[in-house]
Amino acid sequence: MPITEILARNAKEWPNDVALVEINPQELENRHTTWREYSLIESSPVEAFRSEITWAEFNEKANRFANFLLSRGLKKGDKVAILLMNCLEWLPIYFGVLRSGCMAVPLNFRYTADEIKYCLELADADVLVFGPEFTGRIEQIIDRMPRVRFRLYVGDDCPSFAESYRNLVSYCSSRAPAIPLADDDEAAIYFSSGTTGFPKAIILQHRCLTHSCKVEQNHHGQTKDDVFLCIPPLYHTGAKMHWFGSFLVGGKAVLLKGVKPEWILRAVSEERCTIVWLLVPWAQDILDAIDRGDVRLSDYRLDQWRLMHIGAQPVPPSLIRRWKSVFPKHDYDTNYGLSESTGPGAVHLGIENIDHVGAIGVAGYGWQTKIIRPDGTEVAPGEVGELAVKGPGVMKEYYKNPEATKEILSDDGWLRTGDMAELRDGFIYLVDRAKDVIITGGENLYPVQIEDFLRAHPKIKDVAVIGLPDARLGEIAAAIIEVKEGQTLSAAEVDGFCLDLPRYKRPRKIIFASVPRNPTGKIEKPKLRKMYGADALVAQQNGL
């Protein structure tokens, strides 16, 4: 069943029920208004603080955008890139693209202008939908993306090089277009990358998206009465595919634009949220705020909150032990997946397996797993190998990249994850990543990109970037820098040089030392991880 049929059913069965809520607490702070004061004001001037749409409105918005795309000559299989911060328009636009038969292409809002251009070209994007936060970046590349046929701006004060989404779409029909869709039709392109940092375009079919809905609902038992709090960015498969469980049953979702502990707890309290998916840093921040007395749990209504789950990065068992001491009634789960497997759920711990925290879990609903040697044969229990998964959520292919597809996807549907793992007592434990990607706060950092940037410094002879364990972010990027003979270099100078990097890519730790290389010239990163403590991250996962 194409995933768009779920939206049509929700609009038919629960037209007047709230589907999505957007909350922007920053608006309150900008206007020096507290959340409590806002809730007591009958006619508040802070219009942007909270807004909502029903399932009927969600469906109509999706239909209008689909019809707009078709009116502009878009056809089945054309690509529509979405570059937006979380907002009420995000998901209706996404589903409007799918309704038109086009393919949705979500873009990471952290991308630089050149990265946006690269991904638009890689995906053969025909349309770009973007918000006000990205006007400057798009302006930098506007003359270098000739394939993009038109640009739609979501927001006020539309720039001259774009057209206003709201003005154009509001005049289109709210009836669903008669575009036939099938399970095997291509639905979306998401981006992944290896250690080089150059993204690969992942093609997901409608069956992948629909199966992801079933996986999430099976794992966490969402009902119509559940309310899901969505904090991570919607371009990410983790956020959207976790919401899919609530989407499948017509439950309400709350899009919270901010990660402060008091904002999260207030949203849970005021919107009566029952399920919250967090990243490790956010869970850590909540617990720290409670310990410091910055927030008091007695100020919030939290009895309905039943599930806290985490994904996107390794989870320290000590964090979950601490969380359970503060929230003893919460169920807990962790989820493993990758964009090539339509996000989370290929492996999950399961709320019944809290005693196995440290493991990523067992095969998810509808999934198979095995741990293999390089030749594809399975290893024995306790032996380390590469984790492979198989199921309806496996990608179709890397777009226009058959060589890369063949490297990780077998003819019989097994997907190599690139993660090294072992099986102990029936549970899968990650041992190390075959790739050197650093996961910091749920975001991927690619060492080669940072290394190449730093090597441009005139005083740097060699550099290696590795991940070091961090209690809040999971990992941080550390740069081991070998200075040219006769030169002196300080950490402050390196930090200043790195100001031209996006903030999330800047190394958090600078180490001045020699960079070891093997006889073939490759950096010996395992040796560096052992020397500087990164391997402690794995050891930390193996016991609660």
> In the block, which residue shows the tokens 């937006």?
84
- 372-378: long-range contacts, CB 8 A cutoff, minimum separation 24: 372/416, 376/410
pLDDT, tens digit (0-9, with 9 covering 90-100), for 533-544: 744 444 444 444
Write down the pLDDT at residue 268. Answer: 97
Closest to 471 in 3D by CA, of 293, 278, 322, 315? 315
Predicted local distance difference test score (pLDDT) of residue 520: 44
- Residue 455 has what pLDDT? 84
- Determine the pLDDT at residue 46: 39
Q: Tell me: the pLDDT tens digits for 271-326? A: 999 999 998 778 888 998 999 899 999 999 999 999 999 876 667 787 888 999 99
The confidence score (pLDDT) of residue 435 equals 67
CA distance 113 to 85: 16
**Ranges under pLDDT 50 in the chain:** 40-47, 194-196, 519-520, 534-544
pTM here? 0.83
Other beta carbons within 10 angstroms of residue 283's beta carbon come to 22
Enclosing H/E stretch for 372 = strand 368-372
Domains of the chain: 4-311 (3.40.50.12780), 438-541 (3.30.300.30)
| pLDDT 10s digits, 367-399 | 999 999 999 999 998 888 899 999 999 999 999
* Sequence-separated (6 or more) residues with CB below 8 Å from residue 450: 465, 477, 479, 501, 505, 507
